[in-house]
Structure 1
């Protein structure tokens, strides 16, 4: 019968070191995957014109992020085991580096305090909340009614609409910036993609193609049949800004229609 070779301390150290290398490599690969392949919602709006679903092996960006977290915990456990199995070597080197006992105690105390602060910091750090990020999916958009083509404010917003006189006096770009902060908390409803054209959007949402180009600072001689994806790369606007412009034009048109009917 073949006798099993005893598991030595050296073999355990080698296994731990191999596992640490594999886990660190996996952490790096998943980090690059989350950053450059499974891009964020804002980057999807900019690249594809909508927050399309992106998965790899059936897992989305957040699920891969959870795997990244689990691997990080595994690496921490392996690191602790690595220190335990090399404790005598660490103590020997540490005593050589700090021959004086007071210095040794001070350094150990400092390392312990810093390590504890790092470990507990995620539970006490306060996150700073700012404005909604443009293009970050369904919750980062607006609540828009498609029945009348006009913008309907939510309950948390100021329900007083801008009058047609004010909109007529201000350039369309100023009207958009004036209402932009009010609309960040509403859900995105308009379907705008890179393969759409100015003419298509003007027809679909009953707005003027010329006014839409003017609001987006697109020269009037640019064809209305040019795709948004190509125009966006040239003139530097986002799909979210196109939606803002369409909503502002719809709002202005609705106010003008009501004004004419009242006369």
Structure 2
């Protein structure tokens, strides 16, 4: 293949990569919800979770970077000649400043982006939540104690739930990380039937974890155990 053929191929692949990167960027920024309050079922698009789209975005970015380097190598003679034509004897300085400017763009976005320590406080859970809180505490930022107690209280409740259920006649281990579909698999009781007993509305996603559902619809893990036990006796 001629050099121009390679340039055409690389430029075509660059175009495909940037289209994919832009598409996923708009998809994640405008359409797929994020954060702990959004239902997990809403974080899927075309069968892929938000994090999976993020992985594809990352791989495309790596590919794009490699192709950019190849593109610069293939076009280096033209770039150098054009820089000499425009900037004369200072062409080397101009190219160096252009390279530096690419990093300055990143710094510009970083400096302009608002830095609010508590903005993502609700994103962490368990170990991640504790690590985030410790970091903020080291930096001197105030920590909302009620959130900390709520998180640790949930862990404590889950631990107690495991202990109680180990002795329960149903013999089913129920934790906040399980979904109603998990209960259906373990007990044979339809997930919708359990949801109705717990007061979960018909439009609620049954593939949400019990930990999130109980916060949203105000039931306890003990009530889940009682409902499952009563339905298994029928």
Please state which band the TM-score falls in when normalised by the shorter chain. Answer: 0.3 to 0.5
More helix by share: 2
Give TM-score scaled by structure 1 length. 0.43
Give TM-score scaled by structure 2 length. 0.47
If you compute each CA radius of gyration, which structure gives the higher value, 1 or 2?
Answer: 1
